[in-house]
Structure 1
Amino acid sequence: MFTSIDPATGTPGASFAELTAAELETKIQRAHDAYRSWRITDYATRTDLLERIAEQFDANAHRLAEIATREMGKTLKSALAEVEKCAAGFRHYAQEGPAMLAPRAFPGGTATWHPMGPVLAVMPWNFPYWQVVRFLAPTILAGNVGLLKHASNVQGVAAAIEEIVIAAGAPAGLFQNLPIKSDKVAALIADDRIVAVTLTGSEGAGMQVAEAAGRALKKVVLELGGSDPFIVMPSADLDLAAKTAVTARIQNTGQSCICAKRMIVHADVYDAFLEKFAAGMQAVVAGDPMESATDMGPLSSEAQRQTVLDQIAMIEAQGGKLLFGGEALPGKGAFMSAGILVDVPTDHAVAQEELFGPVAMLFKADDIDAAITLANAVPFGLGSSIWTNDADERARFERDIEAGMIAVNAMLASLPHAPFGGIKRSGHGRELGPYGLHEFMNLKTVLG
């Protein structure tokens, strides 16, 4: 049994029964059967369904947003924005997707894209709708079918997504929610009826899924953690950089793989940036996520807050200094204050970890070489944000930053048309854009 807990109040919400072994088997077979017919549908049938799903997201936006806020604590306004983004994602693949599947001619033949079968998605709680849509929209367009194992604390969201897809008129078995625990995932991956798996989550979960996929010789896409650098050079617009840095750190209460977590600032502008950034972080309003004036809701759970507090304590024990904030707020709920850490020892293991909460680590760099070295001195390589108005500096960063994505003079974001993913321990493979669509398709060569 899964029970939702409102992290803003600690109050239990709806409960959801875990699938029995027989029920799980029925769903897998239903997916297998659905694929046999869906794979041969034409693109118009698939894109029409994508458009109808988008309409359902729009029509149910407020209800869907409230479920996410109650289950994992994001502000209602950010949950509404997430639902709107989901509708845009479905429409993107409906409108642009068929062109991505056009055959590619080469001397003597063509290369054509074909579906593969049921795809299993193991998804996290932090963007509980958008993470699913990133896999589901291209899955439907490709002619595949989808199975969702969602995080335990967002089972209401998972059920709602399935309801939306069914209400849009999807064939039975095209997309199914699997309310199961993580210990069932390896057996699912080994099942011959499931052809591939995609996971967004922690390093540990990624290693387990990758191992299971490797044993079954199945395609896997992994989007894991990140400790994204936010680099500020002297030529940058400091006011805009500092303002954006606040949003980039506290969005989703700091619980995003592409949140800016390490602010790396050139020595010449370090003090000026810190003054502006600190003022912005101190002004962050943490409170009831249903209220429009709230900037930041609670963390997803008491356990998640304690993890962040423990990380801060370890950094302080190694000589780091908490300038302000970074503390549990009194009263009900998993709230904590936004904060800034300085003098973090870069050679200590804790500085290599991902801080999944609203606390920034601030570092000083003497020059561009030092900034790049600091940026790359972690095992992650997901995203990054660089702030410079110098063309030569921009070229250096684009070439030398070890990451799958770079935002220039802007906050990094995931977009339906832009490839999303990382390198190193941040995973492999890509979501979104044509590359995410092609990940789980068979590129078939036809000669003659």
Structure 2
Amino acid sequence: MPIATVNPANGETIKTYEPMDEEELERRLQLAEATFRTYRTTSFAERAALLERAADLLDEDQADIGRVMTTEMGKPVKQARAEAAKCAKAMRWYAAHAEALLADEEPDPSDVTDSGASRAVVRYRPLGPVLAVMPWNFPLWQVVRFAAPALMAGNVGLLKHASNVPQTALYLEDLFHRAGFPVGCFQTLLVGSGAIDDILRDERVRAATLTGSEPAGRAVASTAGEMIKKTVLELGGSDPFIVMPSADLDRAAQVAVTARVQNNGQSCIAAKRFIVHTDVYDAFAERFVAGMRALRVGDPLEEDTEVGPLASERGREDLEELVDDARRGGARVLCGGERPEGPGWFYPPTVVADVDREMRIHREETFGPVATLYRANDLDEAVLIANDSLFGLSSNVWTRDEAEVDRFVRDLEAGGVFVNGMTASHPALPFGGVKRSGYGRELSGHGIREFCNITTVWHGA
């Protein structure tokens, strides 16, 4: 794939970039290593001041970078501005909390005296240059939720961003430079995916984080395992959205629409499989389908657009194949399901019912505004359907019955359970999944410690 901005609303190529050559890549790896040696010694107060400045600049740039993101990957421009605001919020959160999250931990002396120690301390130290392989769907947020904690911990970052969002990738490097971070603290590497393996094998790169597809995660994890390097992976998701009889159906259906089509449906944590108790199935389905039909699809730069185009032609083709396969297998398409005429990579909000386990749409992630609708006879069947997936990123549960909540929290195989609300990431809450959705955690104290050397300091008597 060329490194280029291609407007998904009309298919026009706006700007292309030449990949970095080996000499430039080597220069940047040397710079990252050299910068880390000094940046690691800076204080939390110094790092926090720099990150606060980056947040201020991002707030000032919100409108401009929002338009860039929309032009590069098609999200509605209001959502793009909201993403920029969320990134600034995360920067300020880590600037305020990192020192406490990484404070030395000292066990009670009585607990370690039998080790011969008069005192023991656990200290969190930075690892070094960390490679971040990031996707296009949240081109600012996916990067910042790595970069903010990594920089506050004293690491330096090397970003290999998706090849279809090069302007956003370069903006991020410039943002941290303008904020005053030392040159080399955060660098964007304009290289193709074929360069990732060699970069990860370089001894100067100490760890890697990847958000993206399962195949990409397998490749990075394989190389990192061979090189004995720490990784965090956030991969695909096929999140269940479970509705039980006691739920507020009007509210559940309203949130369900947003949960499915946020970011044009191209979100790992978007609800994708809607599992509804048979007692309220028809009532929920009616509300949900009506809400999906009512969405305004159009130019993502227009303020009232709710669903824009998919980010790539290949992405639309993949989505169409899943819907068509389900239709051939006997599924009913309750709304949408047909490619519209005209330019751009648009696909309508779609609801598919009567899905069975043999259909691809049941097994694979639908990365676009397509929902699958399931009927469950009771709580046990709802859990079985929800867990019948290779993924386990997050989940949504709608019920007012506390006993049911306890059961879902106990039995759902996911990294998160959101009760009577939509899955969302937040700086203070750990984020990540299980099964083929990956491992490790981003955000919160768990996220900032992922790329730290957890060091035991032992003092003799």
What SS does structure 1 have at the residue aligned with 2:400? coil
**Cα distance in 2 for residues equivalent to 1:229 and 1:164:** 37
Deviations 1:264-287 (A, max 9, x none): 000000000001101100001100
**Cα distance in 2 for residues equivalent to 1:173 and 1:110:** 31
TM-score by length of 2: 0.96
Gaps of 5+ in 2: 113-119
Tell me the equivalent position of 1:221. Answer: 232
* Counterpart mapping for 1:40-439 below 5 A: 40-106=41-107, 107-108=111-112, 109-439=120-450
What SS does structure 2 have at the residue aligned with 1:119? strand
Deviations 1:132-168 (A, max 9, x none): 0011001110000000000010001000111111111
Cα drift, residue 330 of structure 1: 1.1
Deviations 1:27-60 (A, max 9, x none): 0110000000011111111111110110110011
What SS does structure 1 have at the residue aligned with 2:36? helix
Gaps of 5+ in 1: none
Deviations 1:237-291 (A, max 9, x none): 0000000000000111110000000000000000000011011000011001111
**Cα distance in 2 for residues equivalent to 1:425 and 1:411:** 21
What SS does structure 2 have at the residue aligned with 1:90? helix
What SS does structure 2 have at the residue aligned with 1:64? helix
What SS does structure 1 have at the residue aligned with 2:422? coil
Cα drift, residue 326 of structure 1: 2.4
**Cα distance in 1 for residues equivalent to 2:219 and 2:350:** 33
Contact 2:8 2:310 in 1 (8 A): yes
TM-score by length of 1: 0.99
Greater CA drift, 310-319 or 272-281: 310-319
Cα drift, residue 406 of structure 1: 1.1
Amino acid at match of 1:443: I
Cα drift, residue 349 of structure 1: 4.3
What SS does structure 2 have at the residue aligned with 1:3? strand
Cα drift, residue 320 of structure 1: 1.4
Deviations 1:309-358 (A, max 9, x none): 01111111222111120221111101111010001112444411000010
Cα drift, residue 447 of structure 1: 1.6
What SS does structure 2 have at the residue aligned with 1:33? helix
Asked if 1:22 corresponds to 2:27, the answer is no
Amino acid at match of 1:193: R
**Cα distance in 1 for residues equivalent to 2:450 and 2:338:** 42
Contact 1:326 1:358 in 2 (8 A): no
Greater CA drift, 197-206 or 344-353: 344-353
**Cα distance in 2 for residues equivalent to 1:316 and 1:310:** 10
What SS does structure 1 have at the residue aligned with 2:165? helix
**Cα distance in 2 for residues equivalent to 1:364 and 1:347:** 16
What SS does structure 2 have at the residue aligned with 1:268? coil
Contact 2:322 2:360 in 1 (8 A): no
Greater CA drift, 324-333 or 263-272: 324-333
Q: How big is the alpha-carbon RMSD for the aligned residues of Structure 1 and Structure 2?
A: 0.8
Runs of 4+ in 1 over 3 A off after TM superposition: 347-350
Amino acid at match of 1:125: W
What SS does structure 1 have at the residue aligned with 2:347? coil
Contact 1:383 1:404 in 2 (8 A): yes
**Cα distance in 2 for residues equivalent to 1:347 and 1:438:** 41
Deviations 1:157-183 (A, max 9, x none): 000111111111110100000000011
Tell me the equivalent position of 2:115. Answer: none
**Cα distance in 2 for residues equivalent to 1:324 and 1:55:** 43
Contact 1:76 1:290 in 2 (8 A): yes
**Cα distance in 2 for residues equivalent to 1:359 and 1:220:** 31
Contact 2:325 2:360 in 1 (8 A): no
Count of residues in correspondence between the two structures: 448
What SS does structure 1 have at the residue aligned with 2:143? helix
Contact 2:3 2:192 in 1 (8 A): no
**Cα distance in 2 for residues equivalent to 1:51 and 1:87:** 8
**Cα distance in 2 for residues equivalent to 1:246 and 1:304:** 21
What SS does structure 1 have at the residue aligned with 2:181? coil
Tell me the equivalent position of 2:117. Answer: none
What SS does structure 1 have at the residue aligned with 2:309? coil
**Cα distance in 2 for residues equivalent to 1:393 and 1:67:** 44
**Cα distance in 2 for residues equivalent to 1:241 and 1:350:** 23
Tell me the equivalent position of 1:33. Answer: 34
Amino acid at match of 1:74: K
Deviations 1:414-448 (A, max 9, x none): 11111000000000000000000000001101122
**Cα distance in 2 for residues equivalent to 1:61 and 1:389:** 39
